[in-house]
Amino acid sequence: MHWTARREKFRANLAANACIHPASVYDPITMRIAEDLGYEAGMLGGSVASLAVLGAPDLITLTLSEFAGLILRMNRAANLPLVVDADHGYGNALNVRRTVEELETAGVAAMTVEDTMLPASFGDKGKARLISVEEGVGKMRAAVDARQDKDLVIVGRTSAASIAGVEDAIVRARAYEQAGVDALFFIGLDTREKLDAVAGAIKLPIFLGSLSPAITDKDYLASRRVCVALTGHPTFPASVQAAYNTLKAQREGTPTGKLQGVASSEMMKKYTRDADYARWLSEYLGGR
């Protein structure tokens, strides 16, 4: 597989002075649906990957090989640029290098590496902590150095604004900018005052992990170099609810033909690319 074209497309989005909302995707079918609906990119969150692979909460129990395997299956199914949450890079700076190597090979267009101390340590009691700025810089440098395709986007991510305050977030952002990352991802910038302060202190494109009601205007976001803004990850829980409703209805005796919310056979054929497989059967096996 050749991944550079989708990476070039994603970089063009970053340079377009516009804010996009990527689709929350988690498998090959959702990748194809998002691409068909015209999304500029897909986003695979670490929490969503843990749900999709393990059926487990986001506690950093997913392994890098499991994560990379899921990503490869998603990327081979569509041409949509995929952004992934690589959490803390699965360890120290050396592990970050390995993470970049694996995820680049799996076809991601962009990946975030964060400075949160993960997994949780004994006694943390759910309170998030940050690694030192120096260790964070080491991880960012390792990520940048590890990539082989220059078009792969490395995004430095920090939750400092929500843990230690905006001033600390700016210190970290400037340090990661100097380390050579391509963009910066922030958690906790929930007011215009906070976003203005950060945007004025750095030069790189900005990703936001969530949008508060105060900062939803896309023109305003674009004016602050916010190129990517997440709008949550509702796709997976919506799928869980749909599966629950269908199984419950069947268990209670609803005939298959009367089930609600089931994709039509035409939709299933479209997103499983039935026509392609029919053509290949005809070309290679003499029809079906």
**What pLDDT does residue 126 have?**
78
SS3 per-residue string spanning 218-234: HHHHHHCCEEEECCCCC
* CA-derived radius of gyration, the chain: 20
CB contact at 8 A, 111 and 103:
yes
Output the CA–CA distances (angstroms, integers) from residue 85 to 112, 114, 223, 266, in the order listed. Answer: 5, 9, 25, 33
How does pLDDT run across 255-268, given as a tens digit for each residue? 999 999 999 999 99
Q: Rounded to whole angstroms, how far apart are CA atoms 169 and 279?
A: 54
Q: Rounded to whole angstroms, how far apart are CA atoms 110 and 151?
A: 9
Q: At 104, is the secondary structure helix, strand, or coil?
A: helix
Q: Rounded to whole angstroms, how far apart are CA atoms 84 and 45?
A: 6
Q: Please tell me the CATH code under which domain 4-238 is placed.
A: 3.20.20.60
CB contact at 8 A, 237 and 213:
no
Q: Rounded to whole angstroms, how far apart are CA atoms 259 and 244?
A: 12
Of 168, 171, 173, 219, which is closest to residue 192 (Cα–Cα)? Answer: 219
114: β partners: 157
Domain ranges of the chain: 4-238, 257-288
pTM confidence score: 0.96
Q: Rounded to whole angstroms, how far apart are CA atoms 288 and 279?
A: 10
Q: Rounded to whole angstroms, how far apart are CA atoms 101 and 131?
A: 23
Residue ranges with strand state E in 86-222: 110-114, 153-158, 183-186, 206-208
How does pLDDT run across 204-257, given as a tens digit for each residue? 999 999 999 999 999 999 999 999 999 999 999 999 999 999 999 999 999 999
**What's the mean pLDDT in 106-134?**
93
How does pLDDT run across 160-195, given as a tens digit for each residue? 999 999 999 999 999 999 999 999 999 999 999 999
pLDDT confidence tier of residue 288, bands split at 50, 70 and 90 = low
How does pLDDT run across 245-255, given as a tens digit for each residue? 999 999 999 99
Q: At 154, is the secondary structure helix, strand, or coil?
A: strand
